[in-house]
Structure 1
Amino acid sequence: MFNRRHITAALLLGSLAFSMPAVAQSDVKLTLDWRFEGPAAGFLLAQDKGYFAEEGLNVTIDTGNGSVEAIPRVATGAYQFGFGDINSLIKFLDEDSSQPVKAIMMVYDKPVFSVIGRKSQGVTEDPKSLEGKTLGAPPPDGAFAQWAAFVEAADIDTSGITLESIGFPVREPMLASGDVDAVFGFAFSVILNLKANGVPDDDIATILFADNGLNLYGNAIMVNETFAEENPEAVTGFLRALAKGFADAVSNPEEGAAAVLARNETLDINTETERLTMANEMNIRTPYVVENGFGGIDEARLSASIETLKISMGLQGNVTAADVFDAQYLPPAEERMLP
């Protein structure tokens, strides 16, 4: 079991990284999709272990408020890099293809989009069990954005379903108290937050969109194109550092969780280790990634995703896979292999 000594060690590691001999550093900012939780470990280890510094980068990492909000932050240039939902990025560019933002590294090869319910309220792993239920839906949530496509893929009758708009802070408490029957969200976040709210494991039903006909990609690293065109080596260095950080988070989730708690000691080390392990197994270290390396995409699969998003997001067909994902900044595949 981890304790405060491990967290202190992580902090010392970070201080050692920044005590390296001084070199010219470029200041850049990264906005995450959410708070500092287990799945953010890859970013934080890249910072704490000096991988960004080795590439001449001084990176500021800020939290976010949903996987959609990172996109305009990067497009406006407020942040050079962002971590957010590639499907929402596709929608964003379909509406205005002149926006200077692209995805450059895939992180969630399998998306975490899900509806999580309680078996005691009649929800099972069968999507059709949602019929007639009340679902809590945070408007900025990436999973909720795919509801229309998921309804079609899973053949769900929505006539008796009530969608209730709720905020992120009350999502799990409302499900735990029975005010809603299920909620939209990222599986590794909702499940563990429910357990923290007293819901037992055997009462939690997880419906993953990816396991029920919706073969989309998930969250990706995005870059401001103006910055990338002017600083291509910095962008490649940023991705090389991230590949190392995520490899470390896969090989040693406990170390990754300690890096998270170094930013927020109110969290529980065991919970964040479990959350990170879930993300690694479900979303990051997929069979495709094991074979082809972390960060890349299958262009045909992304093209098929765009066709699916015409259903869920009402795309006009103004973008192609090449308009959305730019692989030129990725380091060689051998530098992106996960353990």
Structure 2
Amino acid sequence: MFHRPLILAAMLLPAGVALADTSMPFALDWRFEGPAAPYFVAVDQGLFAAEGLSVEVTAGEGSLDAIPKVATGAFPVGFADLNSLIRFLDQNPGAPVIAAMMVYDKPAFAVIGRKSLGVEAPADLMGKVLGAPPPDGAWAQFPIFAAENDLDMDQITIEPVGFPTREPMLAEGKVAAVTGFSFTSFLNTKRLGVDPEDISVILMADHGVDLYGNAVIVNTDFAAANPEAVTGFLRAVAGGWKATAADPEAAIQALSSRNPGMDAALELERLTLAMETNVMTDWVMENGMGNIDPDRLASAVEQIKLTYEFQNEPDTALYFSDAWLPQDGSLSMQ
């Protein structure tokens, strides 16, 4: 009898009128560039709508940008660097935010060098000049990379550079290598006229750095109240990436309607590099998208300690949860 008024109210709805979709605005980490295309594919193909969700994708201003937006509840979901989230949660204990789906299984942190200037492998940095913007995410991880590869930091000349001058200095030979995101710095250097065969991309994840990259993060208060919506969101995200892998050109078309002034060929190349290097890794192809290796995350936390002093005892259960990942096989990228 308690539920009868609700049932009667539903019966009185006019034919064809549906209940409103759950609103789940999504805060990206950066602008509408190639790697953002899968989310617009999910919108355009009705993958979010099929889950009863209304999703608006919003651009961001960096890997830190989405974390406070989600932690404060301004956005229920966002896209952010897991390592930045770990530090945020250490500095803001109890903040209602956690990673719920790994997307960049390999982070894009890299050293980009010129082969003609003698940089092809980590050891080649010894005695060379490395350009590094002080706020750069890859530069922040460089001490971990150096420790894992037995590099003597005293034998590497660090040249602080600005983001706008980083790749031009590499192209002009004023530095032998730079730190940056693999797909961004590679493409920027190539666009400046450097032969791609002369550009070396040393991905830190391939040289001992166990850190993860960007993940879908969720407000835990929202997730507790709307667990099925969060699972549906993650299912749609996986579907967007799978559809993008099947037809990257169509994905770029979905993106171009939101960023009409972009260079479509450049963004297709950026998307392809990110997808092949950072998202569709061997681990993901074998295990599916979204989850993590707990041992690797524990190792990553130990590596973070090399560059960050925790105020509280680290607890990986605070940083990532697989509780909302769909269990219906939709995470398979095969």
Work out whether the TM-score is over 0.5. Answer: yes
- Alignment partner, residue 200 of structure 1: 195
Match of 2:144 among 149, 170, 173: 149
- Alignment partner, residue 274 of structure 1: 269
SS of the residue 1:334 aligns to: coil
Whether the aligned pair in 2 keeps the contact of 1:153 and 1:214 (CA below 8 Å) is yes
- Alignment partner, residue 29 of structure 1: 25
Letter in 1 for 2:123: K
**Shift of residue 159, structure 1, vs aligned partner:** 1.0
- Alignment partner, residue 174 of structure 1: 169
Letter in 1 for 2:269: E
RMSD over aligned CA atoms reads: 2.1
- Alignment partner, residue 283 of structure 2: 288
SS of the residue 1:135 aligns to: strand
Structure 1 range deviating more: 180-189 or 41-50 = 180-189
**Shift of residue 94, structure 1, vs aligned partner:** 2.2
Structure 1 range deviating more: 101-110 or 41-50 = 41-50
Computing the radius of gyration over CA atoms, which structure comes out larger, 1 or 2?
Answer: 2
Counterpart Cα distance in 1 of 2:149 and 2:298: 21
Whether the aligned pair in 1 keeps the contact of 2:210 and 2:297 (CA below 8 Å) is no
Match of 1:249 among 244, 251, 260: 244
Deviations 1:5-41 (A, max 9, x none): xxxxxxxxxxxxxxxx975123332222222222112
Structure 1 range deviating more: 302-311 or 254-263 = 254-263
Does residue 1:312 correspond to 2:312, yes or no?
no
Letter in 2 for 1:194: T
Alignment of 1:52-67 (within 5 A): 52-67=48-63
In structure 2, the CA distance between the partners of 1:265 and 1:171, relative to structure 1 (3 Å rule), is farther
Count of residue correspondences: 319
Letter in 1 for 2:48: F
Counterpart Cα distance in 2 of 1:66 and 1:144: 15
Deviations 1:275-297 (A, max 9, x none): 22222221111222122211011
In structure 2, the CA distance between the partners of 1:315 and 1:100, relative to structure 1 (3 Å rule), is same
Letter in 2 for 1:44: F
Alignment of 1:1-339 (within 5 A): 24-124=20-120, 126-316=121-311, 318-332=313-327, 334-339=329-334
Counterpart Cα distance in 2 of 1:172 and 1:264: 24
**Shift of residue 317, structure 1, vs aligned partner:** 5.5
Whether the aligned pair in 2 keeps the contact of 1:71 and 1:84 (CA below 8 Å) is yes
Q: Which runs of 5+ in 1 are unaligned?
A: 1-20
Q: Which runs of 5+ in 2 are unaligned?
A: 1-16
Counterpart Cα distance in 2 of 1:213 and 1:43: 31
Counterpart Cα distance in 1 of 2:254 and 2:20: 25
Whether the aligned pair in 2 keeps the contact of 1:240 and 1:335 (CA below 8 Å) is yes
What TM-score, normalized to structure 1? 0.87
What TM-score, normalized to structure 2? 0.88
Deviations 1:235-294 (A, max 9, x none): 111111101101111111111222222222333322222222222221111222122211
In structure 2, the CA distance between the partners of 1:74 and 1:170, relative to structure 1 (3 Å rule), is farther
Counterpart Cα distance in 1 of 2:163 and 2:18: 42
